[in-house]
Amino acid sequence: MNALTRELRMFSDAIEQKNPEKNTGAGDPWRLSYHVMPPVGWLNDPNGLCQLGGVYHLFFQYSPSNPCGALKYWGHYVSTDLISWEYTGIALYPDMPYDCHGVYSGSALVENDKAYLYYTGNVKLSGDYDYIYNGREGNTALAVMDKDGTISEKTLLLKNTDYPKHLSCHVRDPKVWKENGRYYMVLGARTLEDKGCVLVYDSDDKYSWTLENILEKEKPFGYMWECPDMFVLDGAHILGFSPQGVDQEGINYANIYQSGYCVLEGDFTGACELKTFFEYDRGFDFYAPQTFEDVSGRRILIGWMGMADCDYANPTVAHGWQHCMTVPRELRFKDGRIYQTPVQELEKLRQSGQTVNVKKALTIKVNPASELYMDFGKVTEICKEAGTDADVKPSCEAMKMVIDGSLILSYNSSEQSFTMAFEDDPNGGNIGYGRTSRKVSLERLKNMRILLDTSAIEVYLNDGLEVFSSRMYPQAGQTLSAHTVAFVDGRGELTVWKLEL
């Protein structure tokens, strides 16, 4: 530990201990129950996801000094069950010449009881620079963690002069894995012509890297591809990435930045093709997801439940913190698409389950941390119970749910679309804080699973084929005692659970 590291540690420890919201969330109605959030300050990208020695590790981009973001560290959470997370402190500090302006995003490779933590060291040179095409260093670096959590000295692996000459200064976010006896790494990049791409490197020792390929779309698709993630899922090679600069197309690509995946056909180190880009999540707050494989062979995704540079807000800034992570999601590949479902461990939180047939308009109160599952597969028999006249049948083909008077979840079978929208409630409030409307095309709505956690919501449609994640802020300034869920339209079997750690 050098002198700068010691100073940064004392500085960050003092900030964390000073904030009364740390761990307890006393007096803050929007602190979360089972979603990972920062102890204080700012949280963004998940980093270094892995399982080592029976322990799950979640590192994250962290700025403890400012809830609006500042100098970036890697914060560190651990868990043995993917549902109860313990914050262990800051793991990586910006304390070297090649990362002094931020320890940026990266990944973990687990081998021989060690986690190899690859990350981008950010440096912004002093002077009159644009920091896109000049004045910035995006260094690829490595730190090694033993299974007891001890992290060794860092190593600089690649710097700007090692990258292809046609790239801008924006090269970052290494994802490293082992396949067929060799090590591979992908890096997100932006060319001098403002075209997003992914660099593919290989290595035989985890330290010396050789460029093997550059992956890109035939037509430009955004100016920068962040947070690349290459993996095999049910036999398909998948490239996940977060493109910036993609223009909205109808209801698609509605956020300022996107996150999604392409099936990769061919050899990723040679001739290959990136197929259709699918968005992982259609909600307002989702970016920079990362996946890892646990010892049971599951492919698990965690995403940042936030969005940079957007035109909506998070009032938790006034409480000294901002953003959270999604719950861990298990991925499956079927019929050319990825399905996402909360990991099975989350079901251990279920308490006090209750099932009811929704036949008409209905309003219920649910716990601040709750799960709701609506099965529309039983619509026909429920409609028959309610009656078979013409006035009943159409409502079996539509759904409208209102949460806390302002968040509208709806399905329209004639338009074949599902919508998440924030509207003003009758009392003039709007819990979206500037969030408006997001949609997805859906031929049929079969089921809907909702995770509520005070100020966060995740909605899984049709067994996780489509997902919407968003922050929401009901009952501003009060202690949240319950969510109000009103069914305005729709028929189905509803099960509700209270979720409790």
pLDDT band, residue 481 (cuts 50/70/90): confident
Contacts of 370 by beta carbon, 8 Å cutoff, 6+ apart: 451, 452, 483, 496, 497, 498, 499
Could you tell me which residue, 300 or 479, shows the higher pLDDT?
300
Q: Which two tokens stand for residue 52?
A: 């080592």
Instruction: Name the E strands within 324-441.
Output: 324-325, 329-334, 337-342, 350-358, 362-366, 369-375, 398-403, 407-412, 417-422, 437-441
d(CA 382, CA 491): 7
Determine which of 26-30, 178-182, 312-316, 455-459 has the lowest per-residue pLDDT on average. Answer: 26-30
pLDDT of 23 over the 80 cut: no
What pLDDT, in 10s, does the model give residues 404-445? 999 999 999 999 999 999 998 877 788 999 999 999 999 999
Q: Which two tokens stand for residue 8?
A: 């940064």
Around 246, how many Cα atoms within 13 Å sit in the side-chain half-sphere? 26
pLDDT at 152: 86
| pLDDT average, residue stretch 37-66 | 97
pLDDT at 70: 96
Q: Which residues of 460-489 are buried (b: 16+ CB within 10 A; e: fewer)?
A: bbbebbbbbbbbbbbbeeeebeebebebeb
Query: Active-site positions?
Result: 45
For 60, the 3-state DSSP assignment is: strand
Determine which of 1-5, 107-111, 254-258 has the lowest per-residue pLDDT on average. Answer: 1-5
Could you tell me which residue, 489 or 379, shows the higher pLDDT?
489
d(CA 366, CA 239): 39
Determine which of 108-112, 235-239, 395-399 has the lowest per-residue pLDDT on average. Answer: 395-399
**Mean pLDDT across the chain, nearest whole number?**
93
pLDDT at 398: 85
Residue percentage of the chain with pLDDT more than 90: 85
d(CA 147, CA 115): 7
pLDDT of 24 over the 80 cut: no
Per DSSP, 321 falls in state E
pLDDT at 48: 98
Provide the CA 468 distance to its chain's centre, in angstroms.
11
pLDDT at 389: 46
pLDDT at 29: 86
pLDDT at 419: 98
Provide the CA 87 distance to its chain's centre, in angstroms.
18
d(CA 422, CA 208): 50
pLDDT band, residue 2 (cuts 50/70/90): confident
What pLDDT, in 10s, does the model give residues 116-173? 999 999 999 999 999 999 999 999 999 999 999 999 889 999 999 999 999 999 999 9
d(CA 127, CA 388): 74
What pLDDT, in 10s, does the model give residues 364-413? 999 999 999 999 876 555 555 655 444 444 334 789 999 999 999 999 99
Type of residue at 256: I
Q: Which of 467, 420, 421, 465 is closest to 443 using CA atoms?
A: 465
d(CA 351, CA 340): 23
d(CA 27, CA 351): 25
